[in-house]
């Protein structure tokens, strides 16, 4: 397996795991808050098949990985019925932020495991130091190299997914927090134009997305450099 193919494989596996964790967190939290809809549909699961959207989960991320552009995509939305929540406003916010929080937890776990590899030996340290750059120069074709590449992809992709979903643009998770603090008339307009704002953000807001992501990615990479 060439370094480039290994990189694509790692990114796709990491992305499938990240979206599975994200959607499962939504479903599990909704169930704990009183809405069993997603749980009854089998969405509290790390099986990516339960969450796959053909275009958003397979085609778009694969094209992005092959072409070398930032890997973005989406899963099948987790069905939630807010009428079942015991505290509609608070429970909707908790259910919404559960997805991004779960991704930050996975990213932090991957960071700690990478730190463990770095501290395990001088070879491990050199391997981890090479990861932020070109994967092809990260090390030999060893099992440890592949594991490190996978953990690095998990860290980066989960950070990107968490931050992206916290942007307060409908239907992203962040919008479920903001909308509760808007007047009813503004909220209706906010919900209606959300999808157009999201498309504009994805296709025209590359600079804005980079500016939002950069501090979080820089933090995780700086922590990785301390090991």
Alpha carbon distance, N-terminus to C-terminus of the chain:
28
Single out the catalytic residue among 7, 23, 126, 184: 23
Count of positions (residues) in the chain: 227
148-187 CB burial, b ≥16 within 10 A, e <16: bbbbbbbbbbbbbbbbbbbbebbebbbbbbbbeeeeeeee
Q: What angle do CA 115, 120, 122 make, to 5 degrees?
A: 100
Distance, CA of 32 to CA of 41 (rounded, Å): 15
184 is catalytic: no
48-79 CB burial, b ≥16 within 10 A, e <16: bebbbeeebbbebbbebbeeeeebbbbbeebe
SS (H, E, C) 47-103: CHHHCCCHHHHHHHHHHHHHHCCCCCCCCCCCCCCHHHCCCHHHHHHHHHHHHHHHH
Return the active site residues.
23
């Amino acid at each position: 397996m060439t370094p480039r193919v290994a990189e694509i494989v790692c990114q796709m596996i990491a992305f499938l795991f990240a979206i599975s964790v994200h959607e499962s967190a939504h479903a599990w939290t909704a169930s704990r808050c009183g809405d069993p809809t997603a749980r009854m549909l089998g969405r509290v699961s790390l099986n990516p098949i339960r969450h796959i959207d053909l275009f958003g989960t397979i085609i778009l991320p694969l094209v992005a990985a092959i072409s070398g552009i930032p890997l973005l995509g989406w899963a099948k939305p987790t069905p939630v019925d807010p009428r079942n929540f015991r505290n509609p406003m608070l429970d909707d916010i908790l259910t919404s932020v559960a997805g991004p929080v779960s991704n930050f937890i996975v990213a932090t776990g991957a960071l700690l495991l990478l730190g463990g590899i770095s501290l395990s030996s001088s070879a491990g340290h050199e391997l981890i130091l090479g990861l932020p750059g070109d994967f092809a120069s990260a090390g030999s074709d060893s099992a440890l190299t592949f594991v490190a590449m996978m953990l690095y992809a998990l860290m980066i992709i989960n950070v990107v997914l968490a931050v992206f979903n916290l942007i307060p643009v409908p239907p992203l998770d962040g919008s479920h927090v903001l909308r509760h603090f808007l007047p009813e008339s503004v909220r209706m307009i906010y919900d209606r134009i959300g999808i157009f704002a999201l498309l504009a953000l994805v296709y025209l807001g590359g600079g804005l997305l980079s500016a939002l992501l950069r501090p979080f990615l820089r933090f995780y990479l700086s922590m990785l450099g301390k090991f």
